Amino acid sequence: MAKRRIVIAGNWKMNFTPSEAEAFINEIKPMVKGKRKCDIVFCAPYVTIAAAQKAAKGTRIKIGAENVHYEEKGAFTGEVSAKMLTEIGVEYVIIGHSERRQYFGETDHTVNLRVKAALAAGMKVILCLGEVKEQRLSGITKEVVSMQTKLDLEGVSAEEMSRVIIAYEPVWAIGTGLTATPEQADETCGQIREALAEIYGKQIANATTIQYGGSMNEKNAAELLAKPNVDGGLIGGASLVAAKFNAIVDAAQI
Ligand code: PGA
C-alpha cells in the first residue's frame, strides 16, 4: 500500500491582513522547523498571500489560496483565476469549502468546474466535502459523501488525482466546537476512500490523502490523526494561533 502524505493545512478564512499574516508566519516558522512528517500549508485571503509567502520563504511552509474561479479570464467581477495564482507561485487551493457552498451558492457542479480548472493549471487541490447535521442524523452520511466525491471529481483523471487532497469536513463540526469522534472521522474518511476506489481503483484510493476538518484543535488532533483513514487536518480556528497549530503539527509527527 502506498504510504500517504500527511498534510496539516490551515484555512485562515477571512482573517489576517498582510501584516498580521507576516507576523503569524514569523512566529510559527521556528516552531515547525524540522517537523518533516507532514506537509504544512496555510490557505490565505488573496490579498494576504504575497506577504505570507515572503515571510515563509526558505521554509517548508506553503501558502495556498481559499478558492479559484473556473474560467481563465473574463467578466467575472470579484473572482481570481488559476493562472493568476500560479503566476505568483501559489500551488495549493481549497475548493468547495462548506462556507462557499452555504453562503455563496456553490454547488457540486461549480465545485467540479473549479477543481478541473485548478488541476489543468497544475495546482494542488484541497477539495472539501461533508454532510450537514440532518444528513448525519438521518443515517445517509455515506451516500452524501460518496455522491459529493463522484460529482466533485467528475472528469478528473487518475493521473491528476496525485494532486488532489480531500478534506472531509462534517458541516456540523465546522467552527462549532463540535468535533466528529475519531471513529466517525475514520469511518467517513474510509467511505470517501471507498468511493474513490469505485472511480479510480484501490491503488489510487489508497494513495490519496484524506484530511479531517471541523474543530480540530491542539487537544483532539492526536486521537484523530492516529486513525488509519485520517491523513491530516484542515484547520480553521486553531490555525490562527501559532501555539495551537504547532501542537497539531506535533501530533502529526508519528
Ligand atoms: P474550524 O474550521 O477548524 O474552525 O472548525 C475548519 C474549516 O472550516 O476548514
| In the chain, domain spans | 7-235
Percent pLDDT > 90 in the chain is 97
Cα 160 from Cα 189, distance rounded (Å) = 20
Residues identified as active-site: 97, 169
What's the CATH class of domain 7-235? alpha beta
Ligand 1 centre and the CA of 75: distance in Å?
31
Q: What is the pLDDT of residue 2?
A: 47
Q: What is the pLDDT of residue 3?
A: 74
Query: In this structure, which residue's CA is closest to atom 7 in ligand 1?
Result: 236
Catalogue the E-assigned strands of 20-147.
38-44, 61-65, 92-95, 124-129
Band of residue 219 on the pLDDT scale cut at 50, 70, 90: very high
Nearest atom, ligand 1, residue 94 CA? 9
Ligand 1 centre and the CA of 9: distance in Å?
10
State pTM to two decimals: 0.97
E strand or H helix that includes residue 27: helix 18-32
Q: Is the pLDDT of residue 254 over 90?
A: no
Identify whether the C-beta of residue 84 lies closer than 8 Å to the C-beta of residue 75.
no
The three-state (H, E, C) secondary structure of 197-233, written as one string: HHHHCHHHHHHCCEEEECCCCCCCHHHHHCCCCCCEE
- Binding site membership of 126 for ligand 1 (Cβ less than 6 Å): no
Ligand 1 centre and the CA of 12: distance in Å?
9
